[in-house]
Amino acid sequence: MTNSSEENELYMVKQAQSLRKSDPCAAKAWIITAKTLYPAAFNVQYEAYLLERDGKNYEEAAKCFSVIATNFPNQNSELWQEINSLTNALRNENENTPEQDFYVKMYKHLTPEVQHNIFMHTINHSGDNLEQCIYIYLLMFNKFPKSAVTQAPRLLEMLAEGMKTDPDLYQRILVEEVLPMIQNKPPELSPALACRLYTSSLEYYLRQIMDESDTADAWKNIFKVLMICGQMMGWEPFLPFSKHVNQNVYWEKLVDILSGSPAGSSQVLFYATTLFIYSLHGYIRNCKLRIEDADVSHVLVEGFMEWTPDGDGSEVPSMEPPKFSLTTPLSPELSKAFLHAAQCWQLLNTDQFQRDFSQLMLALPLAPWISRFLFDLAIYFGHRDEANKLMSDMTPQSSLVQSLQILSLNLMQGSMTLQGFQCILKILSELPATQGQLLDNMALKSHRHMVFLPLTRSALVQYCVGAIISRLSRKVYEPGCPDRLICDLLVLQQLNLLNDVLLTQQIFNVIKQRKSFNLRTLSTYIIAIDVIEELSFIWNSQQEDNFELTSSPPTSGSSGAPTAVTPGASGAQTRRIGTRGADKGARDEFKAITRQQIGRCNENVITLLANFISQEHLMLAQHIFGITQPVETIVIK
């Protein structure tokens, strides 16, 4: 074009520009003339577009825009400004200003070819603006779903690249916007990229799971993403998620896939990892239960094995894994989730998967769950030294939980030590407000077992009482067992009368066999009607055998609080009530004591026994360990 032609072209464009707002018709006449004379001039075509744009003529503006976009795709900043305005309007289609609304309407009048070319040109000229490029891809996939088949791999690569600098943003885009678009026909990807995208998706949903109470939707999405990534790599499909499906079904499917897969298969690695985390989450989530308007945690502890006098004393630890006691309604669900997590953990820590699995665990926000699980796993398998090491590395939930776990580890070695007894005193000094219920099946015969113990007053005191009874019970069968020990054990047995009938019978048999018995705790700590009735029966039935019962006297006006009489205090008075020549006064005095204690039968036995152990801990320690100094002053090395 000659200088004269350029000058004429610019003159006509300027004339049109000067008249565009004041006299659109005259401006249009200038542009029509210019287009006739200079059809290949960008300035003329662009001014024609601006004239139609300002006049809100969507269809004519679309025609002019198509000419520019087709004939001048790589020129002029003005064109790219308009394309950016168009794509921004399309991105915010439901929240547009009137100006942006024009672009949306004009876009509808563009031919599909021009529409697609606009997206591709924008992507190719986005430079380092990764976020903008990704959103243009998403726009294009929305408008041209078939383009995802060829363009999705590049988009997914860009997302993986973006996660290095802003993982939160690009993980959200991946799981909320991109994967739903490609789920019906996922593209083929390299195994490394597909696994990376799945790991990122898993991390995103795990953060949601940790922040929300209702997590079923998150797990449904995790399993859906697993299926999508599996399709990208041609894997055999896993099972879809359903919270109603028994976890055994998932495990059996995993075993079936494992049997037909090569060693170290990525497919098995990711399926097993997903199943492990699902089971682990179920375990951690169910460790808390709503009791009496409070969230109560459950702690895995060693259960008690009942000692029987006919045992040969040479118990050999069983190689079988321990059972789980059904102590609460929650126990079955907790034990199933724990065992499934343990199965997956053992599979994933075999030589073929361990390295890759360890790397996966480091990439996911699971550290608190894993440390809790590994500690419980060590307890379950009886690996006491490993559990002690893990405990030293863990952040304790609370001093109460830490004392309980130390006590459990102490019991695991077979017999409670002084360290365990000190833990009992700490636990009783930190009892929670939630009362809770007494538990069933805390002690079982013949095999080791585990208990999920709720952190309630009742369960904690019951566990502490059980630990002391397990250490003292066999002494009742020894010749010359002191009255004081039998008496203290009888107080503790008030929680356990029906669960350990043999021990209760032995205590009463020993009392019957003696000519006199010092029942020093009767008027202070014995309130169970069954115990009182049995003692009354013994006293009444021994009339002919000159039986003598020694007891603290009843306290007048006492409500039965344990502090009314201080057992073992130097100033405490005792009274012998014998059947030898028993007169009416002696009988009446014994009846008064029993009536007083029966009147206390509705007292809280949990509080009573907690006070008993705390107040009588020195005597209990003497029974168990033969020590006489205060327990708190003894340092365990």
pLDDT at 583 over 60: no
Of the pLDDT bands very low, low, confident and very high (cuts 50, 70, 90), residue 73 is low
Contact (CB, 8 A) for 291 and 456: yes
Q: Is there a single domain that holds both residue 339 and residue 378? A: yes
Do the domain assignments include residue 607?
Answer: yes
pLDDT at 626: 84
The more confident residue out of 319 and 414 is: 414
Give, for 506, the enclosing helix (H) or strand (E). helix 501-513
Do the domain assignments include residue 523?
Answer: yes
Query: Is residue 219 classed as helix, strand or coil in its secondary structure?
Result: helix
pLDDT at 328: 82
Contact (CB, 8 A) for 603 and 610: no
pLDDT at 589: 74
Region 382-393 average pLDDT: 91
Do the domain assignments include residue 71?
Answer: no
Q: Is there a single domain that holds both residue 519 and residue 545? A: yes
Among 154-158, 485-489, 586-590, the minimum mean pLDDT is found in: 586-590
Burial class (CB in 10 A: 0-12, 13-18, 19+), 592: middle
pLDDT at 27: 87
Of the pLDDT bands very low, low, confident and very high (cuts 50, 70, 90), residue 574 is low
**Strands annotated E in 458-583:** 516-518, 548-551, 575-578
Q: How many domains does the chain have?
A: 2
Structural domain containing residue 559? 478-625
Of the pLDDT bands very low, low, confident and very high (cuts 50, 70, 90), residue 171 is very high
Do the domain assignments include residue 151?
Answer: no
Q: Is there a single domain that holds both residue 501 and residue 570? A: yes
pLDDT at 430 over 50: yes
Do the domain assignments include residue 436?
Answer: yes
Burial class (CB in 10 A: 0-12, 13-18, 19+), 569: exposed
pLDDT at 78: 80
**Token pair of 321, please?**
């894994």
Do the domain assignments include residue 100?
Answer: no
Do the domain assignments include residue 459?
Answer: yes
CA 34 – CA 43 distance, rounded (Å) = 10
The predicted-structure confidence for 134-149, as pLDDT tens digits, reads as follows 989 998 998 898 888 8
Burial class (CB in 10 A: 0-12, 13-18, 19+), 370: middle
The predicted-structure confidence for 309-333, as pLDDT tens digits, reads as follows 765 444 555 667 888 988 888 888 8
pTM: 0.82
Give, for 443, the enclosing helix (H) or strand (E). strand 443-444
Average pLDDT, the chain: 85
Region 287-306 average pLDDT: 88
The more confident residue out of 6 and 83 is: 83
pLDDT at 572 over 50: no
Measured in whole angstroms, how far is the alpha carbon of residue 153 from the centre of its chain?
A: 35
Last residue of some domain: 468, 487, 511? 468
Q: Is there a single domain that holds both residue 353 and residue 486? A: no
pLDDT at 215: 84
Query: Is residue 311 classed as helix, strand or coil in its secondary structure?
Result: coil
Q: Is there a single domain that holds both residue 595 and residue 525? A: yes
Q: Is there a single domain that holds both residue 413 and residue 495? A: no
Of the pLDDT bands very low, low, confident and very high (cuts 50, 70, 90), residue 236 is very high
pLDDT at 562: 37
pLDDT at 405: 95
pLDDT at 297: 92
Do the domain assignments include residue 399?
Answer: yes
DSSP conformational letter for 433: S
Tell me which residue has tokens 């610019």: 10
Among 115-119, 144-148, 323-327, 584-588, the minimum mean pLDDT is found in: 584-588
pLDDT at 1: 54
Q: Is there a single domain that holds both residue 332 and residue 371? A: yes
End-to-end CA distance of the chain: 99
Last residue of some domain: 433, 449, 468? 468
Q: Which residues contact 393 (CB under 8 A, 6 or more apart)?
A: 371
pLDDT at 292: 81
Of the pLDDT bands very low, low, confident and very high (cuts 50, 70, 90), residue 84 is confident
Q: Is there a single domain that holds both residue 462 and residue 581? A: no
The more confident residue out of 330 and 569 is: 330
Last residue of some domain: 428, 450, 468? 468
CA 482 – CA 505 distance, rounded (Å) = 17
The phi-psi region of residue 292 (left if phi > 0; otherwise alpha if psi is between -120 and 50; otherwise beta) is: left
Of the pLDDT bands very low, low, confident and very high (cuts 50, 70, 90), residue 3 is low
pLDDT at 514: 82
> What is each CA distance from 363 to 203, 264, 357, in whole angstroms?
8, 19, 10
Region 445-473 average pLDDT: 92
Tell me which residue has tokens 């708190």: 632
Region 149-170 average pLDDT: 92
The predicted-structure confidence for 535-567, as pLDDT tens digits, reads as follows 888 877 765 555 666 665 433 333 334 333 333
Among 135-149, 468-482, 587-601, the minimum mean pLDDT is found in: 587-601
Query: Is residue 537 classed as helix, strand or coil in its secondary structure?
Result: helix
Q: Is there a single domain that holds both residue 523 and residue 576? A: yes
Q: Is there a single domain that holds both residue 342 and residue 390? A: yes
**Token pair of 478, please?**
């020894």
Q: Is there a single domain that holds both residue 303 and residue 416? A: yes
pLDDT at 576: 57
Across the strands, what pairs with 301? 451
Q: Is there a single domain that holds both residue 426 and residue 482? A: no
The more confident residue out of 399 and 569 is: 399
The predicted-structure confidence for 361-374, as pLDDT tens digits, reads as follows 999 999 889 999 99
In 3D space, the residue among 133, 216, 224, 117 whose CA is nearest the CA of residue 173 turns out to be 133
